[in-house]
Structure 1
Amino acid sequence: MNSSNHSPVLSAYLELNIAVTTACYAVNLILSLPTNVYVLCLILTGAGGTVASEFFALNLAVSEILYCLSAVFVFVYIHLPIPPLLALITFFSGFMFHGRPLFQCCICFERYLAVVHPVVFLKYRPLRYKVVCSGLVCLVLIGFCFISMFVNEHKIVVCLYLADIVVLFTFMLFCCLSVLKALKQPGPGEGEREREETNNMKMRAFKIILIILVSMMVNYLPWVVVLPFNEIYDLLQLVYITYVCLFFSIVSGFVQPLLYLHRAGKLPFIKGL
């Protein structure tokens, strides 16, 4: 009796899960992929700034494009559920779970240096330093992706993910508060005009870091709440919570491309950044 009653319910949940998951990944693939490819083309062609000045944004766009590949594997896995495909989905999902906050952190740190330590910023502004920094970040990112792919112990993966998010969030918060403090302390010897220009630059940096910080909270807070306690939810609750997490991840993934497109003058209807 139990099997006959619960089996149709279970099948309905699974079908709903497949349908919504497909829709979420399809939306991400259709919208995020062309947006980030457009950002990538603008940076490489110099239409939205030099490669050196937007190098971290370029790396973030590449990371988002690689994450879009997970959608392709999800579509195939739905019809052909074999372990290698699941491993690939886990690997490329790491570009969202770890790559996105890592490169967002690099962007925040660059803005922090430009405002709080301008001399250091000018010293390390050349592209070669950013290439070295991005190379180290990529090594860490690939390491996280492989750990998530090969480590079967759920608690280890969750603890690593939570530690990563907490550290990066704390660092971004430090950058945000430091820029805000610098905004309230005008430099000595500045005239009225220079002070106004400097404050405008500081305010733009503060707004960008704050927006990235908020988008990071929106993106990762649902996962932080769900992952450690997924065993206490029943199937229906877990399905619905996963939908919410995927939705926030997809929405927050457009924040950085939109910020860049606005700075490049491609979104003039957005004011104030």
Structure 2
Amino acid sequence: MFNATAANATAGPAGPPPWYQFPVCAAAPWAFVFYFGVKVLNLAVGAPGNALVIWRIGSGRSDATTSDVFILNLAVLDGFFCLMTPVDMGNRLLLDDQRVWYLQRFSYGLKDLAPLFLVCICLDRYVAVVHPLLFTRIRGNAVRVAASAAVWVLVLVYGLAKSTLGVASVSEVFGAAVLSALCVMLFCNVAVVWALRRCVAGKEALHPVKRRALRTVLTALAIVVALYLPPVALMPFASYYGFVVFRCRVSVSVFAIMDLSCSVEPLLFIARKDRAGGGGGCCGRHLPGDHAPEL
């Protein structure tokens, strides 16, 4: 995995490694241009975007939803990762300090398990749409705060393990986490679509609130499939690539794509909030626990 392999790719006592990390990558450095370009994008767009998300949720706007607890935690995680960009680039390009690499691997570990918060968002919308009575009983934020705390414990333990023990010690955990997240999100999407289908089959008006709930789970699933799944899908085929192709092109590109989520997620949230309109319930009733029309 590129995010940690470069920590070992030093150029010896003569100085730090080249900006393309491996001397053999000099002939094909364009993936590294893309990687560093994503880093700069995250600092320029992702950091203020996540700060805006934190501000909008923290300001207690009237269009808040129960899922905002998880979105807030995801924005904090992504914001921290974006703010690590100067440290990451400075150490890769100039310092190559092994002590700083511990902090970098820790931040990579946090980012690896960010999909767990997307899973929480999907489960929250699934319960709201499919099990409204249960959702009414757990409408308070206490359950969501406890779930977020549990996710943070897992994320921090994983990040510390990746920082101190290296990538090899957690690579299988990363793959299992992303694949598990994908399975849970697929289940939530199918269940929500089936619930909406019953609404339509009963000739009841499909209210925009539930349509937004469907868009929420579909968006979370799309983020995981498009941005987090490629590194996992790549792992079984790593041995089929030559060193130059894998380390200089493929792995750099897929991890840069994963890092893009730091900018994509807040932009999607802001766009969804700005696009949200008024409304009531679905199939003649409000979704329980959502005191505002927006999901």
Which 5+ residue runs of structure 1 have no aligned equivalent? 1-7
Distance 1:262 1:11 in 2: 39
User: SS where residue 36 of structure 1 aligns?
Assistant: helix
TM-score of the superposed pair, with normalisation by structure 1 = 0.82
Distance 1:186 1:16 in 2: 50
**Does 2:239 align with 1:224?**
no
| Offset at residue 211 of structure 1 (A) | 2.0
Q: 1:211 aligns with which of 206, 214, 219?
A: 219
Cα RMSD over matched residues?
Answer: 2.9
| Offset at residue 142 of structure 1 (A) | 0.8
User: SS where residue 199 of structure 2 aligns?
Assistant: coil
User: SS where residue 185 of structure 1 aligns?
Assistant: helix
Tell me the residue number matched to 1:234.
Answer: 242
* Structure 1 or 2: more helix by fraction: 1
- Per-residue displacement from partner, 1:183-211 (whole Å, max 9, x unpaired)? 111299x8x7xx3154x333222222112
Distance 1:98 1:104 in 2: 10
**Does 2:191 align with 1:182?**
no
| Offset at residue 223 of structure 1 (A) | 0.6
Distance 1:153 1:90 in 2: 8
TM-score of the superposed pair, with normalisation by structure 2 = 0.76
Q: 2:265 aligns with which of 256, 261, 272?
A: 256
CA gap of 1:258–1:153, structure 2 versus 1, over 3 A, is: closer
Distance 2:264 2:25 in 1: 36
Q: 2:97 aligns with which of 82, 101, 114?
A: 82
Say if 2:188 and 2:217, in contact at 8 Å, map to a contact too. yes
Distance 2:196 2:206 in 1: 11
Tell me the residue number matched to 1:73.
Answer: 87
Distance 2:268 2:28 in 1: 37
CA gap of 1:247–1:205, structure 2 versus 1, over 3 A, is: same
Distance 1:131 1:113 in 2: 16
Tell me the residue number matched to 1:4.
Answer: none
| Offset at residue 19 of structure 1 (A) | 4.6
| Offset at residue 131 of structure 1 (A) | 1.0
Q: 2:113 aligns with which of 80, 98, 101?
A: 98
- Per-residue displacement from partner, 1:212-255 (whole Å, max 9, x unpaired)? 11221111222113344445433431221134213422444444
- Per-residue displacement from partner, 1:27-47 (whole Å, max 9, x unpaired)? 221111111111111111123
Tell me the residue number matched to 1:3.
Answer: none
User: SS where residue 198 of structure 2 aligns?
Assistant: coil
Distance 2:193 2:111 in 1: 28
- Per-residue displacement from partner, 1:93-127 (whole Å, max 9, x unpaired)? 1222102x011111111110110011111211111
* Residue identity matched to 1:215: I
Distance 1:49 1:203 in 2: 16
Tell me the residue number matched to 1:245.
Answer: 254
**Does 2:158 align with 1:144?**
yes
Which 5+ residue runs of structure 2 have no aligned equivalent? 1-21, 278-294
Say if 1:69 and 1:92, in contact at 8 Å, map to a contact too. no
Say if 1:47 and 1:264, in contact at 8 Å, map to a contact too. no
| Offset at residue 165 of structure 1 (A) | 1.0
Tell me the residue number matched to 1:36.
Answer: 50
Q: 2:60 aligns with which of 15, 40, 46?
A: 46
Identity %: 26
CA gap of 1:132–1:86, structure 2 versus 1, over 3 A, is: same
CA gap of 1:17–1:53, structure 2 versus 1, over 3 A, is: closer
**Does 2:163 align with 1:161?**
no
* Residue identity matched to 2:234: V
Q: Which has the higher contact order (CA 8 A, sep 6+)?
A: 2
CA gap of 1:83–1:131, structure 2 versus 1, over 3 A, is: same
CA gap of 1:13–1:120, structure 2 versus 1, over 3 A, is: farther
